[in-house]
Amino acid sequence: MALTRQEAREVLDTYIRAWESQDPGLIVTIFTEDATYHERVLEDPIPDRKAIQDYWQSKVVESQANIKVQLLSVYLDGETVIAEWEAEFDDVVQGVRKRMREIAVLVFEGDLISSLREYWASEQIGQAEKLAPADLVAGYLHIWAGRPGTDGLPRLF
């Protein structure tokens, strides 16, 4: 049976609810066991449901706060959904508030996501209300220091 727009919208609503509530247990309920998640499409994907849950724990739960997401557009073509949303959140590692605009391409198997690819840009729009503990910041600096950004300088995200 073909994916309906209503089914796609329900999955996207769960995605947004999981993001805003910072719930890695909820996010994995919408992915197949062997789903892939490309946060950065030119890098290796996050390979499966457990790894997606771990990614959300570190990226969303430990690194973001005060998250608000608005779904802007949804397009459906067979088993592929393209969604556009805008989010604002505190980046607690960098100590800034960000606005992010994203396009996500989601491929479904039945009513679960088997592949998700994100294309996004973000900008600083203020200071974060919540800051990360110093040991978390030090850990991210260590992990990301060797991964240069597009300008050749070390990047955090």
Domain with residue 27: its CATH number is: 3.10.450.50
For residues 141 and 8, the model is more confident at 8
Whether 85 contacts 71, CB under 8 Å: yes
DSSP line for 16-77: HHHHHTT-HHHHGGGEEEEEEEESSTTSPPB-SHHHHHHHHIIIIITTEEEEEEEEEEEEEE
pLDDT digits (tens, 9 = 90+) for 49-72: 999 999 999 999 999 999 999 999
As beta bridge partners, residue 151 has none
The answer to whether position 17 is within a domain reads yes
Give the whole-angstrom CA distance, residue 103 versus residue 105: 7
The answer to whether position 32 is within a domain reads yes
The answer to whether position 154 is within a domain reads no
> Is the backbone of residue 98 left (phi > 0), alpha (psi -120 to 50) or beta?
beta
Question: What H or E segment, with its residue span, contains residue 138?
Answer: helix 134-144
Range of the domain at 122: 5-144
The answer to whether position 102 is within a domain reads yes
The answer to whether position 64 is within a domain reads yes
The answer to whether position 26 is within a domain reads yes
Total domains in the chain come to: 1
The answer to whether position 66 is within a domain reads yes
The answer to whether position 156 is within a domain reads no
What's the pTM?
0.82
Give the whole-angstrom CA distance, residue 123 versus residue 152: 19
pLDDT digits (tens, 9 = 90+) for 71-94: 999 999 999 999 999 999 999 999
As beta bridge partners, residue 123 has 99
State the pLDDT confidence band at 155, using cuts at 50, 70 and 90: very low
Give the whole-angstrom CA distance, residue 120 versus residue 58: 19
